[in-house]
Amino acid sequence: MVSLKDIAEACGVSTATVSKALNDQKDIGEGTKIRIRNTAARMGYFPNSAARVLKTKRSYNLGVLFQDEASLGLTHEYFSVVLNSFKMQAESLGYDISFINTENRSMSYYEHCRYRSFDGVVIVCVDDYRDPEVLELLESSIPVVTIDYIHHNCTSVSSNNVKGMQDLVSYIYKMGHRRIAYIHGEDFSYVTKDRLASFYRTMESFGLEVPDSYVGSAKYLKTKEAALITRKLLELKNPPTCIIYPDDTSLIGGRNVIYEAGLSVPGDVSVAGYDGSVMSQLLHPKLTTVSQNADKIGREAAACLIRAIEKPKTTLIERVVIEGSLIPGQSVGELSDEKHPN
């Protein structure tokens, strides 16, 4: 293994000079720095990570807590894009990432983070944010950034779910629909709370009342649960002309029920999803949905976390909201004035 002494001998300088050059200190000339760095690279020198930790008090390693209730893991399209962009941004700023062990553990999440000397943690997804271990991490002194969840002790990064739902309902209304149902996700989710409130608020702004029978709950990505509620909606005396689903994946379950009932989309029943997944645009008809900017969400989460690590005195706890965009698609049909349900 190449040492600083080896480089010093090859360059004819002291080890102190080599150390200063490799750490880009100002009292070393630029020409000397370049010569020493080129020599170090040619000799295959790698800095000692343990020494780096002792000197900088940082591991340059970020922890990722990812516990996917849907059991899709890294195949989950939204989270896979968020994680990949988080990784790319972190690496561009000189940090590595490691996943926090969520199975067969002998330590809590916080203890694991301390054991691995993580400089900071991003919580991408967990089954229950009320879990004492999750709360311990959120309340700790370790810098934490959450995605799609708000906590008073850390910065959160999320899509603009309020505007996204407002844009979606407004588009459906513009297409002539007045009987609009909404199958939302888990009640405890901040994402659900924002979208549901925005749904009711937008419907109210158009002077539309929402029957309780038009609103149901199904877990995100669960096609069977969405299918069950869709069946109940279709059996109503005055069924909705359009159904909004928690996400593009769960929509497939409802879509299948509609077809099994001998109905068509959007001829008889219109449907809309959420997420803007690649799959949503491959289906026929293409789904009307809201695209979340998952790439920007991941990058912003990494930037916020590293800023909290490197500049703790000037870092504020923020709620960072990333704008999405409506994809009109073809799954929401236009109702003529004659067919307009009142």
Looking at the structure, tell me whether residues 138 and 42 fall in a common domain. no
Looking at the structure, tell me whether residues 101 and 196 fall in a common domain. no
Residue 317's CATH number:
3.40.50.2300
Q: Which residues of the chain have pLDDT under 50?
A: 338
Residue 42's CATH number:
1.10.260.40
Looking at the structure, tell me whether residues 176 and 272 fall in a common domain. yes
The predicted pLDDT at position 49 comes to 53
Task: For 120-171, write each residue's pLDDT tens digit.
Answer: 999 998 888 889 999 999 999 999 999 999 999 999 999 999 999 999 999 9
pTM: 0.81
Per the structure, the count of domains in the chain is 3
Looking at the structure, tell me whether residues 78 and 153 fall in a common domain. yes
Looking at the structure, tell me whether residues 120 and 167 fall in a common domain. no
Looking at the structure, tell me whether residues 273 and 202 fall in a common domain. yes
Q: CB count, 10 Å around CB of 249?
A: 24
Q: CB count, 10 Å around CB of 20?
A: 18
The predicted pLDDT at position 338 comes to 45
Q: State the SS3 of 2-63.
A: CCHHHHHHHHCCCHHHHHHHHCCCCCCCHHHHHHHHHHHHHHCCCCCHHHHHHHHCCCCEEE
The range of the structural domain enclosing residue 15 comes to 4-47
Decide if 309 is inside a domain: yes
The predicted pLDDT at position 71 comes to 54
Looking at the structure, tell me whether residues 71 and 38 fall in a common domain. no
Task: For 229-249, write each residue's pLDDT tens digit.
Answer: 999 999 999 999 999 999 999
Looking at the structure, tell me whether residues 102 and 129 fall in a common domain. yes
Q: What is the layout of strands, in order, in the sheet containing 61-66?
A: 96-99, 61-66, 120-125, 144-147, 155-159, 319-322
Looking at the structure, tell me whether residues 173 and 75 fall in a common domain. no
Segment holding 102, helix H or strand E: none
